[in-house]
Amino acid sequence: MSSAEVTVIETPAWPDTYGSDAKPRVGFFTDTSICIGCKACEVACKEWNGVPATSYEFTGHSYDNTGDLGADTWRHVAFVEQRLPVGGVAEGAPDSFVAEAHRQEVLERSGIEAERDGEGMRWLMASDVCKHCTHAACLEVCPTGSLFRTEFGTVVVQQDICNGCGYCVPACPFGVLDRRDGDGRVWKCTLCYDRLGDELEPACAKACPTKSIQFGEHDELRARAQERVERLRADGLAEARLYGEDPGDGVGGAGAFFLLLDEPEVYGLPPDPVDTTRDLGEMWKAAGLAAGAIAAGVLASFAGGSR
């Protein structure tokens, strides 16, 4: 096989797939600075989408009873406990951390209720979800077309087409996709696709009492997120940052992005996520060239041996 015979199939980019039927791209902006860990989003997600109940066993991670995202957990509220010496800075914390006494003042001024005990504990809480990536590797590797991008720019699994091959599971750079035990098919957040069709916001955002989870048009959410992080930094929270909103990152920007108060790794998020199919085109070309070289070598050896 020569390199000219190698064909790389590329999925048409949204919104070209829908043309005039495409809707404005929607998504989530999750402001973790105002998450109170109530888990209303987890409950609402399960209730609306009929997601099976999760085992309520002790995980060893504070009040986190679900552990991570999976086929039966489409929304996962993480609890991260950090101990900060009262009147000082956290051991091993970034230089940008301010004294705890000043931090409390800054948080109150910014409308954030900080949880802490007498020893200076800080809880970072964050509701995680499928990122609905701009460059979604799960779409690229799905052999049945079960995974598709909707007219709203979100990524959905069609269970009636999914054959349970699991190719999408390792392809996701965030570890979101998973096969359901006893079922075998892949399940994940749909961003409440059925509700979007009725012009309703997703169940998790509807249930969030602090508006930590904000739903809306993608561009508007990005602008709102930028304003929020700038406000927090101006108030002294220099460690405030956005995660997933940059269209120049390894997945082309996420449809669900976050405001964090620490490094992504602290929340269990990869610091530099990359579309795992990004280099497939070059890999196939290299494989084609290698195959052509081998074939030419084999033919040459036969030709030489027949003389």
Residue 40 has φ and ψ, to the nearest 5°, of -60, -35
Give residue 205's Cα distance to chain centre: 16
Q: Taking the alpha carbons of 256, 281, 141, 10 in that order, is the dihedral positive or negative?
A: positive
- Long-range (24+ apart) CB contacts under 8 A made by 235-240 are 235/106, 235/109, 235/110, 236/98, 236/102, 236/103, 236/106, 237/33, 237/98, 237/103, 237/106, 237/107, 237/110, 237/261, 238/96, 238/98, 239/94, 239/96, 239/97, 240/33
pTM of this structure? 0.76
The CB density around residue 119, as the number of other CB atoms within 10 Å, is 9
288: tokens are 């084609």
Q: What is the pLDDT along the chain (307 residues), one digit of tens a residue?
A: 444 443 334 444 567 777 788 899 999 999 999 999 999 999 999 999 999 987 666 666 667 777 789 999 999 998 888 876 554 444 444 433 334 445 555 555 555 555 544 456 788 999 999 999 999 999 999 999 999 999 999 999 999 999 999 999 999 999 999 999 999 999 999 999 999 999 999 999 999 999 999 999 999 999 999 999 999 999 989 999 999 999 999 999 999 999 999 999 999 999 999 998 865 544 434 444 445 556 555 565 666 555 5
